Amino acid sequence: MIRYLKGGAVLLLFGLGLLLSGCAGLTNWMDSTWSTNIGCNASQVVTDSRQIAILPEAEQRRQVRRLQAAYDKSGRDRDRFLLVCLAVHSKSRYQNHERALQLLQGYRRSAEPREDLLALAELLETLLLQQQQVEHDLAAELERSDSLANKLKALEDIEKIIQEREKKARPSP
């Protein structure tokens, strides 16, 4: 029994070592991937944005700053779309739909947008605008609901006052 526990512990430690060595290599992999001038491949951009979105906060902040600086310097499509993906990714700490819309609209107005990326930009922009409209409609409905709840509360208070007056007006038996 103890022999099995020792074997399991060794196996667990070995797996943990492999996992940790993989995490250490992730930063080097991303640094080397981003430093090369790779063309903008939509599936690779999505994959890279997912990798960044699940990083610990400090590392994610570092990568986003680096990515923003690279975009500010070069204006590359890959950097733009990575920033867009991070601005809309649910696990990203840098969600900013307004920023994503600005980047997408900027791409649409760029001198030579690629047709495939233009279609993706238009789709993402449409979805973001629809989401904004839904959020606006939801806020309006919540406001309306609160107003109706306040009116209902006021009516209940009036009903209570009327009932108390009726009790006082009845003759005692």
The answer to whether residue 68 sits within a structural domain is yes
Question: Which of 66, 129, 25 is closest to 82 using CA atoms?
Answer: 66
pTM of the model: 0.60
Q: Sorting pLDDT into bands at 50, 70 and 90, what band is 140?
A: very high
Helix (H, G, I), strand (E, B) or coil at 93: coil
Q: Sorting pLDDT into bands at 50, 70 and 90, what band is 115?
A: confident
The answer to whether residue 57 sits within a structural domain is yes
Q: Sorting pLDDT into bands at 50, 70 and 90, what band is 69?
A: very high
The answer to whether residue 13 sits within a structural domain is no
pLDDT of residue 172: 67
Mean pLDDT of 59-63: 90
The answer to whether residue 9 sits within a structural domain is no
pLDDT of residue 116: 80
Domains held by the chain: number? 1
Question: Roughly how many angstroms between the first and final C-alpha of the chain, as a whole number?
Answer: 85
pLDDT of residue 28: 42
Burial class (CB in 10 A: 0-12, 13-18, 19+), 46: middle
**d(Cα 32, Cα 22) in Å, to the nearest integer?**
15
Mean pLDDT, the chain, integer: 78
pLDDT higher than threshold 60 for residue 15: no
Percent of the chain exceeding pLDDT 70 equals 76
The answer to whether residue 134 sits within a structural domain is yes
Q: Which domain holds residue 58?
A: 38-169
pLDDT of residue 37: 41
